[in-house]
Structure 1
Amino acid sequence: MTVALFTLGGTIAMAGAGADERGGTVVTRLTGADLTAAVPGLDIPLDVHDTRAVPSANLTFRHLLDLVEQASEAVRAGARGVVVTQGTDTLEESAFLVDLVWPHPEPFVLTGAMRNPTLAGPDGPANLLAAARTAAADGARDLGALVVLDDEIHAARSVRKAHATSTAAFTSPNTGPVGHVIEGTPRILTRPPRRTPLTPGTADPARVALYTVTLDDDGDALTRLGEDVKGLVVAAFGVGHVPADLAPVLGDLATRIPVVLVSRTGAGSVLSHTYGAPGSETDLQRRGLINAGLLDPYKARVLLRLLLMTADVTVKSIAETFARYA
Structure 2
Amino acid sequence: MKKVIVVTTGGGIAFKRNPATGALVPVDGEDIIAQLTHSGITIEFNEFSSLPGSHFTPVQGLELARHIDALLRDETVTGVVVTHGTDTLEETAYLLDLTINHQKPVVVTGSARSATMPGYDGLHNLASAIRVAAATETRETGVLVVFAGQIFAAADAQKTYAHSVEAFAAPGSGPLGWIVADRIWMRHRPAQRMYIPCAHLEERVDLITPGQGSDDRLLRHAIADRVAGIVIEAFGSGRMPPWWLPAIQEATAQRIMVAIAPCTGSGALHDEYGYVGAYHDLERLGVLFAHYLNGRKARIKLMLALGAVRRPEDVRVWFP
Q: Deviation per CA, 1:13-32, whole angstroms, max 9, x where unpaired?
A: 079xxxxxxxxxxxxxx973
Q: Deviation per CA, 1:7-64, whole angstroms, max 9, x where unpaired?
A: 011001079xxxxxxxxxxxxxx97323551537323211210120110111122222
The answer to whether the Cα contact below 8 Å between 2:208 and 2:218 also exists between their aligned partners in 1 is: no
Q: Distance in 1 between matches of 2:95 and 2:160?
A: 19
Q: Distance in 1 between matches of 2:31 and 2:113?
A: 14
Q: Cα distance, 1:215 vs. partner?
A: 1.1
Distance of aligned partners of 1:59 and 1:294 in 2 relative to their CA distance in 1, 3 Å threshold = same
Aligned to 2:146: 148
Q: Cα distance, 1:267 vs. partner?
A: 2.9
Aligned to 2:30: 37
Q: Distance in 1 between matches of 2:104 and 2:311?
A: 29
Equivalent position amino acid for 2:151 in 1: I
The answer to whether the Cα contact below 8 Å between 1:130 and 1:186 also exists between their aligned partners in 2 is: no
Aligned to 1:18: none
Aligned to 2:102: 104
Alignment of 1:44-123 (within 5 A): 44-77=41-74, 78-123=76-121
Q: Distance in 1 between matches of 2:35 and 2:311?
A: 49
Match of 1:241 among 219, 239, 242: 239
**Which residues of structure 2 form unaligned runs of 5+?**
17-21
Match of 2:209 among 196, 212, 218: 212
Q: Distance in 2 between matches of 1:121 and 1:218?
A: 44
Q: Distance in 2 between matches of 1:119 and 1:38?
A: 19
The answer to whether the Cα contact below 8 Å between 2:233 and 2:261 also exists between their aligned partners in 1 is: yes
Equivalent position amino acid for 1:260 in 2: A
Aligned to 2:13: 12
Equivalent position amino acid for 1:69 in 2: R
Q: What SS does the corresponding residue of 2:7 show, helix, strand or coil?
A: strand
Aligned to 1:22: none
Q: Cα distance, 1:228 vs. partner?
A: 3.8
Match of 2:189 among 180, 191, 199: 191
Q: Distance in 2 between matches of 1:196 and 1:249?
A: 30
Q: Distance in 2 between matches of 1:311 and 1:268?
A: 27
TM-score by length of 2: 0.90
Q: Give the RMSD, CA atoms, in angstroms.
A: 1.9
Q: Distance in 1 between matches of 2:15 and 2:160?
A: 22
Count of matched residue pairs: 306
Aligned to 1:2: 3
Does 125-134 or 76-85 show the bigger shift? 76-85
Q: What SS does the corresponding residue of 1:275 show, helix, strand or coil?
A: coil
Q: Deviation per CA, 1:132-165, whole angstroms, max 9, x where unpaired?
A: 0000000000011000010000000001000111
Does 192-201 or 163-172 show the bigger shift? 192-201
